[in-house]
């Protein structure tokens, strides 16, 4: 079974541990600094960058406003092209659908590529319970899986690892899952890439079933699109007999013309490249070419919940470029795992509470994992206003019951509520408080003292506002 984020501590606790890890902080700072510099150079080449961002935000908003129409169009087109569409309300349903599809093929070892969503829903463990071994083939995801680790970035899940650590993982683990690492493997990037290539090629050539995600779904033709740098995705998407793509509802773009906007933004903003080395597209099945069976599993798992949030729904515009993580001073110091989700950084701080609801201590802590500096607002290619959403989510957490955990605090608030509901009781309480003025201490006793350590207890007026109003006739006497 793979490790998961289930039971992860709230952000302050996780971040406190991460910030003490100097190696982790050095690895994250080096990697994000390098990607930031590449991105800045490549973005500066495009005089129309801001217009592209405007267009992308507007296109995504149109998709979200008419999601039902576009999704039905996707279903119609995929079905007409020989594929089968499945709808999953939540993680359990998606896992059941995929597991049943894999078991029906009789295969017990499959390959996977480019799917954060399958990590979000815990597909690997659901397959493992059914006796199916799913091997990651995206290089960074494979490093995480081989190291029994957890992802820390949406584009580079093993960003928190340096070359020496990756070498050690390859030497220790590759032989347990297939072709071992070559003798005398060093931490030279070319040697590491070659070791991964040899290990994975064996799997590509054997696997009859592949599971993928998709960066986009083009509604007008029902075409799925995967964008990647290594070519491993292309191998998965073309060599297997059966392809199962597990995709979030929000990945739709209406037309190929619209896709063009996102393809111009994604690579520059994600990895500082003019275009992605591999863009693979497929529409249903083609006799004699590529997978002969294609299933598209469309997953909600909280997306319609997020869509219902007027301020927060803009988080569903995200195209997972990772730029908000690379620029974030909080992410740089805490690393991605502190966010307790496959979606870390600023997008994780808003998307996780929107998908799951800010009802437990872990998700309720995420909107506070930000200094509100707004650097993420400036780099997001789909113009998500993180600071607006963070403030709205903090408001929701504060309004909800999630933060009021202490039974004493709950009882006190209930008592105040009861007094405020009854005018006679309220007036009596106000008069009594006025009379008790001289007794109010400047420093509160016991655990309440923490509050007065940094604040002054407000002076209680001699007379209530109502009494003043009555005595002066609204200030006219």
Output the CA–CA distances (angstroms, integers) from residue 194 to 170, 198, 233, 240, in the order listed: 11, 6, 17, 22
Residues 89-148, interacting with ligand SF4 (CB under 6 A): none
**150-169 positions binding ligand SF4, by CB under 6 A:** 154
Which of 52, 219, 246, 323 contacts ligand SF4 by CB under 6 A? 323
Residues 6+ apart with CB under 8 A from 327: 32, 36, 375, 376, 378, 379
Q: Does 384 bind ligand SF4 (CB under 6 A)?
A: yes
Among 298, 318, 369, 393, interactor with ligand SF4 by CB under 6 A: 318
Write down the least CB distance from residue 63 to ligand SF4, Å. Answer: 14
C-alpha–C-alpha distance, residues 214 and 206, integer Å: 23
Max Cα distance, the chain (Å): 96
Q: Which of 113, 121, 297, 347 binds ligand SF4 (CB under 6 A)?
A: 347
Question: Total residues at the site for ligand SF4 (CB under 6 A)?
Answer: 14
Q: Contact at 8 Å (CB) between 466 and 460?
A: no
Q: What's the closest the beta carbon of residue 360 comes to ligand SF4, in angstroms? A: 23
Contacts of 370 (CB under 8 A, 6+ apart): 328, 330, 346, 349, 386, 387, 390
The reply on whether position 57 binds ligand SF4 by CB under 6 A is no
Structure tokens at 225: 């699109």
Instruction: Round to whole Å and give the CA distance between 284 and 250.
Output: 19
Q: Name the residue nearer to ligand SF4 (CB basis): 76 or 378.
A: 378
Min. distance of Cβ 365 from ligand SF4 in angstroms?
Answer: 19
Q: Which stretch binds ligand SF4 (CB under 6 A): 168-176, 317-325, 391-399, 416-424?
A: 317-325
- State the minimum distance, in angstroms, from the CB of residue 370 to ligand SF4: 13
The binder of ligand SF4 chosen from 91, 253, 375, 380 (CB under 6 A): 380
Alpha-carbon distance 11 to 336, whole Å?
Answer: 11
Q: Which range in 17-25, 100-108, 178-186, 375-383 contacts ligand SF4 by CB under 6 A?
A: 375-383
Decide: 188 and 224 in contact? Cβ < 8 Å: no
Coil, strand or helix at 242:
strand
* Backbone φ and ψ of 135, nearest 5°: -105, 130
Query: How near is the Cβ of 323 to ligand SF4 at its closest, in Å?
Result: 4
Answer for the pair 321, 271: CB distance below 8 angstroms, yes or no. Answer: no
- Report the nearest approach of ligand SF4 to the CB of residue 101 (Å): 29
Distance of CA 311 to the CA centre of its chain: 17
**Which of 68-76, 89-97, 287-295, 318-326 is the region at the interface with ligand SF4 (rule: CB under 6 A)?**
318-326
Specify the residue, 53 or 203, whose C-beta has the smaller distance to ligand SF4.
53
Residue 464 is given by DSSP the state: -
Sheet harboring 216-218: ordered strands across?
A: 252-253, 216-218, 223-228, 278-283
Q: Which of 121, 342, 379, 393 binds ligand SF4 (CB under 6 A)?
A: 379
Q: What is the DSSP string of 154-204?
A: SS-TTTT--HHHHHHHHHHHGGGSSSPPPTT--S-HHHHHHHHHHHHHHHH
Q: Give me 306's structure tokens.
A: 């997020």
Question: Minimal distance in Å, beta carbon 75 to ligand SF4?
Answer: 26
**Nearest of 390, 393, 216, 221 to residue 318 by alpha carbon:** 216
Considering the complex, what minimum distance in angstroms separates the CB of residue 317 from ligand SF4? 7
Q: Looking at 139-147, 221-229, 253-261, 313-321, which segment touches ligand SF4 (CB under 6 A)?
A: 313-321
Nearer to ligand SF4, 271 or 285 (CB): 271
- Which tokens hold the place of 181? 């690492």
- Which of 233, 291, 322, 340 lies at the binding interface for ligand SF4 (CB under 6 A)? 322
Choose between 101 and 267: whose C-beta lies nearer to ligand SF4.
Answer: 267
The nearest distance, CB 267 to ligand SF4, in angstroms, is: 12
Q: Does 259 bind ligand SF4 (CB under 6 A)?
A: no
Nearer to ligand SF4, 269 or 279 (CB): 269
Binding site residues, ligand SF4, CB under 6 A? 154, 318-324, 347, 379-382, 384
């Amino acid at each position: 079974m793979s490790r998961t984020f289930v039971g992860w501590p709230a952000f302050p606790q996780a971040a406190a541990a991460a910030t003490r890890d100097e190696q982790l902080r050095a690895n994250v700072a080096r990697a994000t600094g390098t990607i930031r510099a590449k991105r800045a150079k490549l973005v500066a080449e495009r005089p129309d960058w801001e217009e592209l961002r405007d267009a992308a935000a507007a296109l995504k908003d149109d998709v979200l406003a008419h999601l039902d129409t576009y999704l039905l169009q996707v279903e119609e087109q995929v079905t007409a092209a020989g594929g089968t569409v499945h709808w999953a309300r939540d993680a359990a349903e998606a896992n059941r659908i995929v597991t049943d599809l894999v078991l029906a093929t009789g295969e017990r070892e499959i390959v996977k590529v480019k799917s954060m969503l399958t990590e979000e829903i815990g597909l690997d463990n659901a397959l493992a319970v059914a006796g199916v071994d799913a091997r990651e083939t995206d290089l960074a995801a494979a490093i995480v899986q081989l190291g029994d680790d957890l992802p820390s970035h949406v584009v580079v899940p093993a960003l928190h690892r340096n070359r020496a650590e990756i070498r050690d993982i390859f030497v220790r683990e590759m032989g347990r899952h297939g072709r071992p690492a070559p003798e005398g493997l060093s931490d030279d990037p070319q040697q590491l890439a070659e070791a991964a290539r040899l290990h994975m090629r064996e799997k590509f050539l054997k696997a009859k079933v592949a599971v993928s995600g998709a960066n986009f779904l083009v509604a007008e033709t029902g075409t799925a699109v995967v964008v990647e740098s290594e070519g491993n995705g292309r191998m998965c998407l073309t060599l297997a007999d059966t392809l199962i793509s597990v995709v979030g509802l929000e990945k739709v773009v209406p037309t190929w013309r619209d896709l063009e906007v996102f393809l111009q933004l994604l690579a520059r903003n994600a990895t500082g490249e003019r275009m992605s080395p591999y863009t693979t597209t497929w529409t249903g099945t083609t006799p004699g070419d590529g997978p002969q069976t294609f299933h598209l599993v469309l997953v909600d798992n909280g997306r319609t919940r997020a869509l219902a949030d007027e301020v927060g729904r803009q988080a569903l515009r995200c195209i997972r470029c990772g730029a908000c993580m690379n620029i974030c001073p909080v992410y740089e110091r805490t690393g991605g795992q502190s966010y307790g989700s496959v979606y870390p950084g600023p997008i994780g701080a808003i998307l996780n509470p929107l998908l799951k609801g800010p009802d437990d201590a872990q998700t309720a802590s995420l909107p506070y994992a930000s200094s509100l500096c707004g650097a993420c607002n400036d780099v997001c290619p789909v113009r998500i206003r993180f600071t607006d959403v963070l403030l709205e989510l903090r408001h929701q957490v504060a309004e909800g019951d999630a933060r009021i955990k202490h039974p004493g605090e709950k009882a006190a608030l209930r008592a105040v509520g009861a007094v405020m509901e009854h005018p006679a009781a309220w007036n009596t309480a106000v008069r009594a408080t006025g009379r008790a003025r001289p007794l109010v201490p400047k420093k509160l006793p016991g655990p309440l003292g923490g509050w007065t350590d940094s604040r002054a207890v407000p002076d209680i007026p001699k007379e209530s506002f109502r009494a003043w109003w009555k005595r002066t006739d609204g200030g006219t006497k």
